[in-house]
Chain A
Amino acid sequence: MDETEARLRRELSRVPEDDLAPGDLADLFSRVAAETVDRPPTLRDRLRELSTPVRIALAVGGALIMVTVALLIVGIRTDLTGQAMARYAVAMAAIAGLMGAAFAASLRGAHQRPLRWWTWVLVVTALLVPLALAVMPWLWEGDGVIRPSGHAHPFGMCGVMGLVTGALTAAVAWAFQRESWSVTSRLVAAVAGGGLTAFAMLQLHCPSGDATHLLIGHSSAGLMLAAVAVGATLWRRRR
């Protein structure tokens, strides 16, 4: 071992000299304890301190409850035939699976390795899938009849209901989040899950087969919420 290598090994294994003094360590612990073990847990603390599988399951469960409640309020479409029901079941299961994956990406624990670029692939997929499904009106036929127009406005009430459902679903999922909301990928993953939930709810409610309405009114909630989320995080970082 030459002199440089010996020096390098010695220096790399040594704690730097300007490291914490004992007093600093005690001060740092008091700050950590004030945020953790010495603080009475709030409801939010209790939610985000649940284990990761439980947090993901509750976020998905929250989305399913949201769809159920919304449909109880606005009503479920009545034109679904037996064949359509089977088609819908497959489509809804796929949407639910993707929504669960989006929430899992959002709520992934800090004790787990980050998914890095895979997270963004998943998020973009979750945002774009409703748009892709919206341009396939045959997939959403209830009784073999495509209803081209029944809506005065492409966005209309469906768009409003989608935004409300998506935002509420994302908010429920975010209640289980351990990170700050300035972490863009996690926030966008949560709203992508909300957008999928909104799309599923609207497809179960509205019988329209109008491609423009499906595209703008039913499937844009996730993208709109993602734009708001990104804007809000950028604004927060600049402050």
Chain B
Amino acid sequence: MSDGEGEPTAGDPEVSDEALMERYVAHGDRAAFEGLFARYAKRLHGLFMRQVNSRDAANDLVQQTFLHFHRARADFHAGRAVRPWLYTIALNVRREHHRRRGRKPEVSHDPIAHGEPRVEPSTSTRTDRLVRRALGELTEQQREVILLHYYEDLSFPEVAELVGASLSAVKVRAHRGYERLRALLGEDAGK
């Protein structure tokens, strides 16, 4: 479905997520759905990449998230914010992924082990790996809070709502996880 004449396009950054969602839910507007996908898919992919082992798995999780987003659209009520709603779905999809795999999430992506051509990593790629490895040392609860607060830039009250914990519990997890990361990356810098 194309945007109506004079109506702001889905790619327009001035159009709010909620306005796109309303068009998508009420009218099945494909462009609005695509607009929401374009805004969030890359960030969600990054979030998943920091928690799962492979790009394929992260792609699959993004796909699953938007599949559930589509199926659940009748549950979206006007006046709600889209972002926390979408992230709740993403976290549930990721939890289900880990539960099915039946093991602790791996957070290091080793291209050699995955048969990818060996290239000299740039400094930032190397740092990505170090951060991922350090994130892998945290508990799942700490990692979840750290990623949502620092990486996704969600406020602590929003994170508390998403993970279903009290505000104080979320702050404690973030503090402990952050201190652990600092220690791990400090050790690494000293090597």
Contacts and interface: CB of A to CB of B under 8 A. Distances in A.
Interface in B67-114: 67-68, 70-76, 85, 88-89, 92-93, 95-96, 100, 109
Main secondary structure of the interface of B (DSSP, over half): helix
Contacts of B153: 13
A12 B186 contact: no
B74 A50 contact: yes
Most B CB within 10 A of own CB, among A16, A25, A28, A35:
A16
A239 interface: no
B133 to A, nearest CB: 12
Most B CB within 10 A of own CB, among A14, A18, A178:
A18
Contacts of A183: 96
Contact of A37 (B30, B62, B182): B30
Interface in B16-69: 28, 30, 33-34, 37-38, 41-43, 45-46, 49-50, 55, 59, 62-63, 66-68
B72 A114 contact: no
Interface string A1-27: 001110111011111111110001100
Contacts of B73: 49
Interface in A59-104: none
Contact of A4 (B96, B162, B186): B186
Most B CB within 10 A of own CB, among A13, A25, A37, A109:
A37
A149 interface: no
Given A17-B124, A18-B128, A32-B37, A12 B62 contact: no
Contacts of A25: 38, 41-42
A20 B92 contact: no
A109 B72 contact: yes
A13 to B, nearest CB: 6
Given A11-B131, A183-B96, A19 B89 contact: no
Contacts, number: 130
B55 A18 contact: yes
Contacts of B189: 3-4, 7
Nearest to B68: A110
Given A13-B153, A29-B37, A114 B92 contact: yes
B71 A49 contact: yes
Given A33-B30, A112-B88, A12 B131 contact: yes
Contacts of A9: 150
Contact of B109 (A18, A31, A33, A38): A18
Contacts of A8: 131, 178, 181-182, 185
A212 interface: no
B71 A16 contact: no
A35 B164 CA distance: 30
A113 B71 CA distance: 16
B75 A111 contact: yes
Contacts of B85: 111
B42 A15 contact: yes
B122 interface: yes
B59 to A, nearest CB: 6
A9 B150 CA distance: 7
A12 B71 contact: no
